Structure 1
Amino acid sequence: MEKSRAPDRLVPTALMLGNFVTGCSVLAPAGMLPELSAGLGISIHAAGLLITFGAVTLCIGSPLTAWLTSRIGRRTLLTTTLAVLAFGNLASAFAPDYTSLLVIRLVMLAVGALYTPQAAGTAALIVPAERRGSTIAYIFLGWSLAAAVGLPLITFIASRYGWRAAYGEIGALGCVSFLLLLLRLPGGLRGVPVDLKTWVEVGRSRAILLLLAITMLQMSGQFVVFTFMGPLLKKLTGASPDAIGMVFGIYGVCGFLGVVIAARIVDTWGPYRTSLLFTCLLLAGITGWALGAGTLVLMAMAVAIWGLGFASTNSMQQVRLVAAAPPLASATVALNTSVLYIGQAVGSAVGGLLFAHERLYSLGFVAVGFVVLALILVLLTRPQPAVAVPA
């Protein structure tokens, strides 16, 4: 059968590269806010709304599309999603004005909301249970690479050749990723259909609801600052585009290292301890940003620590949700992605309001507040030791 012809070790890599394209598509505006502002004749705050409105679309689209497409084969579903992302980015390169760019982005991300949760769910179908945690973490390397390589490259291209060239590059990469996934992902892969009963079971689980709240708070805290990281660095330190690109690169490289470490230790440490470690690193990094705001070196060092927890915390959330209720994985992973984007929308909206009112130093401390709440919930979800029953 087709499924046996595709080596398992190549399928996760194909899925991971698809996540890279998805991450670049979602994060792209953050790397070129000044160029979008100048090229489209809008404010930095308005350009940042591309992220906010996109996140709202993603958070609604993720569970809705998981329900509508749960009976479609994974190869058809994932390759179609990548094709839409590729076309959407290429169309963005030719958008004549801000309204057109926003509409294209919303349509593209409404479909793109499918990819990340379905890629994670597909991992559960192609590897044995004992390798599931490390495989999901590996697939999420794509998001780390999007921040480590994609975002600095987007910043570099946009600052020299314009934002249209940056969108064109993402679109071209999306075409390559589409072909790779089409050739490598086995056919005949189908998850458990998602129906109303599934959502009811998810809503009754206290553990799942707490895990989803952790994801939302972690992302809200990060995107208060991350959405406007480039303009903040310029305003607070006078950083050049190259220096800003370097900070994005530090963020992404450390994010990549964080997921690599998480993937290596999760099967022995367990998802809870691994999640606790990287949430603490996330808090330490954002606290460092808040306290070091105004000094480029201190902010860059804080970003390095923050980056270690950036994608690793979310990949651990996926692992914990799958482990909490394997039969509900299709729904919980989709919901996790949805609340992740709710967090992005909340964080970028809060950050945008503070940025628009020139409360530049306040952004970091508000971000710290969100992550402290996330850490408290992580501690509340600590697995209880089994109680021995007397013979």
Structure 2
Amino acid sequence: MPPALIALAVATFAIGTSEFVIMGLLPDLSIDLGVSIPAAGLLVSAYALTVTFGGPVVTLFAGRLERKRALLWLIGIFITGNILCAIAPNYTLLMIARIVTALSHASFFGIGVVVAADLVPYEKRSSAIALMFSGLTLANVGGVPLGTMLGHEMGWRSTFWALLPIAILATALLVIFVKPKPQDKPSTSMLREFVVLGRPQVLLTLGMSATISIALFSVLTYIAPLLESTAGMTTAEISAVLLLFGAGNLTGVLLGGKLADRNQMAAILGVFGVLLALYLALTVTSFWAWTASVTFFLLGAATFAPGPALQTRVLDYAKDAPNVSATLIHSAFNLGNAAGAWVGGIALTAGATYAQLPWIGVAFGALALALAFYAKKLGQRSAAAS
């Protein structure tokens, strides 16, 4: 493994932990800052929306820098944001601090993907991207649970302070191991970067990314009441299921990278088919603790497995604007996260039971598979025409 990939993985671990750990700290935040839990929950929404809409804009400016320098500026913004979170005296300033932190998120991931893909031979790009994002999956497995535990024991601010040495380590590793390349030239045209949004294959890839996120978060957002009402699981048992889900993330992203290196489109179609089958299975398996646990482990793997293929696919179809196109993937994922929670909430408000939520996953899983088949067909037509 190139040492630069380790540097990128450490950075994604820190960023991923910072993004998700706040969900487990909401009760502590609400008490300390004197706001309701729904108001505290807006910190999560604001972060996701900033990643979705602010990321591409930040990347347009960061893309004018040499990529190593851009990564260092972005990790600097992340460090500044976390310091502001740790010292924020009230809710308003904490909200501003979370928005500052989120500005670095999608841009770092997007530019990092381009750097990771450039570190290895062309046919190994997906595996390199998967190794970079192993840091994000490890954040779900270890960083978030440990950060939440630390916040409960020593106060929520301690969690953000604890992230600083990890981010500083990532910065040092980036300085040492990421080497600028002669062809790593700054982007000169902002308009050219956004032209990629008019390309059907880029839009289809973004659509697939958002759709699988909607499918997941329509269910995962409500996993606690879902498993309580169907399988009668306790809080401790649900925590164990979430840990299994995180372990599945790591397994899936590494396996997905290898599959994508062999055949990108076949990997996407195959994994989307598995996802659809798993959401169908969950409509039944959620009623028993052990079958629900196995299904969520497999869902964790299958949801993260197509990530490397989707990343390399968007790079293939937007070679002249790699920074923004790679960033847009993360914007699409975060938009799907927010939309999935909203769709699930709408269904529950309309009278659906928690046990029926997996059917939303089925619907959006089928849509993702349809988009993938259409993208394949469109690619075949383009190849035949040329």
Question: TM bucket by the smaller chain?
Answer: 0.7 to 0.9
341-350 vs 88-97, which deviates more? 88-97
Is it true that 1:384 corresponds to 2:384 in the alignment? Answer: no
2:230·2:287 contact (CA, 8 Å) conserved in 1?
A: yes
Cα gap change, 1:280/1:102 in structure 2, threshold over 3 Å: closer, same or farther?
A: farther
Between the aligned residues of both structures, percent identity stands at 27
In structure 1, what residue type is equivalent to 2:294? M
The answer (yes or no) to whether the contact 2:214–2:336 under 8 Å persists in 1 is: yes
Question: Counterpart in 1 of 2:81?
Answer: 88
Which residue pairs with 1:143 in the alignment?
Answer: 136
Where 2:64 maps in the other structure, the secondary structure is coil
Q: Which amino acid aligns with 1:267?
A: D
Q: 1:245 to 1:182 in 2, by over 3 A?
A: farther
Question: What is aligned with 1:214?
Answer: 208
Task: For residue 305 of structure 2, give the secondary structure of its aligned residue in structure 1.
Answer: helix
Q: Could you give the per-residue CA deviations for residues 238-296 of structure 1, whole angstroms, max 9, x where no partner exists? A: 6555434322221111111111112223222x111111222233334444444444644
Residue 333 of structure 1 and its aligned partner are, at CA, apart by 1.0
1:134 equivalent to 2:127? Answer yes
Q: Does 1:113 align with 2:113?
A: no
- Which runs of 5 or more structure 1 residues have no equivalent in the other structure? 1-7
Q: Is the 8 A contact 1:250 1:300 kept in 2?
A: yes
Distance 1:101 1:357 in 2: 34
Larger deviation: 36-45 or 327-336? 36-45
Instruction: Give the secondary-structure state (helix, strand or coil) at the position aligned to 1:114.
Output: helix
CA contact (8 A) 1:211 1:321 kept: yes
Match of 2:52 in 1: 59
Q: Is 1:50 the counterpart of 2:46 in the alignment? A: no
Residue 367 (structure 2) pairs with residue 373 (structure 1): yes
Measure how far apart 1:228 and its partner are.
4.5
What's the CA shift string for 1:196-219, capped at 9, x where partnerless? 442454133211111111111111
Q: Which residue of 2 aligns with 1:256?
A: 250
**Residues 225-234 or 53-62, more deviating:** 225-234
**AA partner of residue 266 (structure 2):** R
- Kindly provide the amino acid, as one letter, of the partner of residue 9 in structure 1: P
Alignment partner for residue 279 of structure 1, among 247, 254, 272? 272
Deviation at 1:29, TM superposition (A): 2.6
> Contact conserved, 1:73 with 1:188, CA < 8 A, in 2?
no
C-alpha distance after superposition, 1:337-371 (max 9, x if no partner)? 22222212222333455678896615433333222
Query: Structure 2, unaligned stretches of length 5 or more?
Result: none
Are positions 1:202 and 2:196 aligned together?
yes
Are 1:321 and 2:314 counterparts? yes
**How many Å separate the matches in 1 of 2:9 and 2:81?**
20
Residues 24 and 148, structure 2, Cα contact 8 Å, conserved in 1? yes
Per-residue deviation at 1:327?
2.7
Equivalent residue, structure 1, for 2:147? 154
Deviations 1:85-105 (Å, cap 9, x if unpaired)? 233234323434433322211
Alpha-carbon distance in structure 2 between the residues aligned to 1:242 and 1:90: 32
Aligned to 1:265: 259
| CA distance in structure 2 between the aligned counterparts of 1:148 and 1:192, rounded to whole angstroms | 36
Counterpart residue number, 1:306: 299
Q: Does 2:66 correspond to 1:73?
A: yes
Residue of structure 2 aligned with 1:11, choices 4, 8, 14:
4
1:58–1:341 CA contact under 8 A, matched in 2: yes
Q: Deviations over 1:162-197 (max 9, x none)?
A: 433333333332222222222221245735516244
**What amino acid maps onto 2:63 in structure 1?**
S
Which one of the candidate residues 14, 20, 33 is aligned to 1:21?
14
Would you say how many aligned residue pairs link Structure 1 and Structure 2? Answer: 381
- Contact kept? 1:251, 1:304, Cα under 8 Å: yes
Instruction: Answer whether contact 1:48 1:227 (CA < 8 A) is retained.
Output: no
CA distance in 2, matches of 1:355, 1:161: 36
CA deviation string 1:125-147 (max 9, x = no partner): 33332222221222122222222
* Whole-angstrom distance in 2 between the partners of 1:187 and 1:45: 45
Equivalent residue, structure 2, for 1:5: none
Structure 1, 48-57 or 109-118: larger mean CA deviation? 48-57
Q: Which amino acid aligns with 2:316?
A: A
In structure 2, the CA distance between the partners of 1:13 and 1:86, relative to structure 1 (3 Å rule), is same
AA partner of residue 240 (structure 2): M
For residues 83 and 230 of structure 2, the distance between their equivalents in structure 1, rounded to whole angstroms, comes to 34
Correspondence for 1:297? 290
Distance in structure 2 (CA, Å) of the matches to 1:101 and 1:354 = 31
Answering whether residue 139 of structure 2 is matched by residue 168 of structure 1, we say no
TM-score by length of 2: 0.86
What is the alpha-carbon distance in structure 2 between the residues aligned to residue 346 and residue 100 of structure 1?
A: 26
Note the C-alpha offset of 1:331. 2.8
Q: Is the 8 A contact 1:59 1:337 kept in 2?
A: yes
Alpha carbons 1:225, 1:351 under 8 Å: kept:
yes
Shift of 1:13: 1.6
